[in-house]
Amino acid sequence: MEIKAAVAHAPGKPLTIETVRLEGPKAGEVMVEIKATGICHTDAYTLSGKDPEGLFPAILGHEGAGIVVEVGAGVTSVKPGDSVIPLYIPECRNCPYCLNFKTNLCQAIRVTQGQGLMPDSTSRFSIGGEKIHHYMGTSTFANYTVLPEIAVAKIREDAPFDKVCYIGCGVTTGIGAVINTAKVEPGARVVVFGLGGIGLNVIQGARMVGASQIVGIDINPARKELAEKFGMTDFVNPNEIEGDLVPYLVDLTKGGADYSFECIGNVEIMRQALECCHKGWGVSVIIGVAGAGEEIRTRPFQLVTGRVWKGSAFGGARGRTDVPKIVDWYMEGKINIDDLITHVMPLEKINHAFDLMKQGESIRSVVTF
Ligand code: NAD
Ligand code: AHE
Ligand code: ZN
């Protein structure tokens, strides 16, 4: 069938809205009508050309929500009419990773996903016979997409697509990093670097679990007001303090953070996030994604003296199990998504969403179809 999609033809170039041919779902796959999709910084990162796995031409987008319209042979867990959220980390419940409680990184289809292909090593997208790559196994910048059955989370039917699409990445990543990865405990002192679409959800998660101090750091002063609404107790603009940031934060947190989170994707700041942690027990979680060739550095002494460096993908969440629960939290008023969705627009305006993100004007832009 013919669909409408925003196509990324080359790094650094705007997306173009085009008619794309989409083949129907094969065995074990589902076709989803995407009703809404958020734009995450990771989409901008891949479009910029910094992603070592970035492929072109491709249909980007990984923060969607929609309705199943067709299922391939053998699909049993969802049916046409079901509301779903696409998962860039699937949950097969059968691979060694799914069977190990220590990780959420299901590897059942990771190789072909990284090649921009479906599990049978072919693409469902083409234009005039030319192959268009899938992206993160989701390709939500299209009004229809095809996904493996293991890469969709079935959610309740009354959930609004234009809000819960954000659970497909940002909300789950931020809140999950606090709950699943760091396991922040009540009373903890938390420092969050970067108060965008991810960092504000880290703040929201830290408040939920009862952190006593939540320090937010951003060079954009406009982030202060919203972060306070989500639970930030102290704001630090690195451009406005005297001296080095790390000793400033150690002092502010009375000896160092129990937990810090890097939500920017800047390797220099990842170092600061580790080194502002408390000697003996502070844990720093890297969420931000850094460009090809970039590396993190610190003195090994930082680790020898008890600080711990961790990373978190999709907040450590197992999508088919955890995403429906987070949708319930939203529907029950336990988490705030509405105030983080600052802009809503049609697909034709998607390049504007990238501009707003770069200019620091938006938290999350959502495209509705
Ligand atoms: P965003 O653009 O919405 O937010 C980034 C924030 O960092 C902005 O508020 C910006 O002002 C701030 N910032 C930039 N440079 C800074 C600096 N030097 N000091 C302090 N603040 C600075 O981005 P986002 O959507 O929140 O994504 C954040 C990062 O997380 C990106 O690298 C993204 O790719 C990554 N990410 C990772 C996962 C994962 O599963 N690990 C999931 C989603 C996003
Ligand atoms: N392709 C990049 C890495 C990108 C990355 O780390 N992606 C995160 C999700 S970001 C969502 O906004 C992730 O889930 N990683 C786990 C995985 O298996 O990709 C690179 O450096 O190659
Ligand atoms: Zn994302």
Q: Which of 33, 46, 62, 318 is catalytic?
A: 62
Cis (ω within 30 of 0) for the bond into 25?
no
> Is 40 part of the annotated catalytic residue set?
yes
Instruction: Give the ligand with the smallest distance to the CA of 109.
Output: 2
Residue 285 has φ and ψ, to the nearest 5°, of -110, 120
> 135: which DSSP letter?
S
> Is 42 part of the annotated catalytic residue set?
yes
- Tell me: do 142 and 69 sit in the same domain: yes
pLDDT in tens, 221-254: 999 999 999 999 999 999 999 999 999 999 999 9
**211 alpha carbon – ligand 2 mean position (Å):** 28
- Tell me: do 19 and 112 sit in the same domain: yes
Coil, helix or strand at residue 246: helix
Q: Tell me, what's the pLDDT at 125?
A: 98
- Tell me: do 259 and 284 sit in the same domain: yes
> Is 98 part of the annotated catalytic residue set?
yes
Atom number of ligand 1 nearest to Cα 200: 26
- Tell me: do 215 and 128 sit in the same domain: no
The reported pTM is 0.98
Atom number of ligand 2 nearest to Cα 290: 21
**42 alpha carbon – ligand 1 mean position (Å):** 9
Residue 325 domain-assigned (yes or no): no
Atom number of ligand 2 nearest to Cα 40: 12
Q: Which of 23, 70, 95, 352 is catalytic?
A: 95
Specify the number of domains making up the chain: 2
Burial of 127 (0-12, 13-18, 19+ CB in 10 A): middle
Residue nearest to atom 8 of ligand 2 (CA): 313
How far is 260 from 242, CA to CA, in rounded Å?
21
> 181: which DSSP letter?
I
Residue 317 domain-assigned (yes or no): no
Low-confidence residues of the chain: pLDDT under 50: none
Assembly ipTM: 0.99
> Is 263 part of the annotated catalytic residue set?
no
> Is 276 part of the annotated catalytic residue set?
no
Following CA atoms 322, 342, 263, 107 in sequence, which dihedral angle do they give, to the nearest 10 degrees? Answer: 40
Q: Which of 37, 46, 98, 271 is catalytic?
A: 98
Instruction: Decide whether any atom of ligand 2 lies within 6 Å of the 40 Cβ.
Output: yes
- Tell me: do 153 and 28 sit in the same domain: yes
How far is 227 from 263, CA to CA, in rounded Å?
14
Structural domain including 273 reads 173-312
- Tell me: do 282 and 303 sit in the same domain: yes
- Tell me: do 27 and 162 sit in the same domain: yes
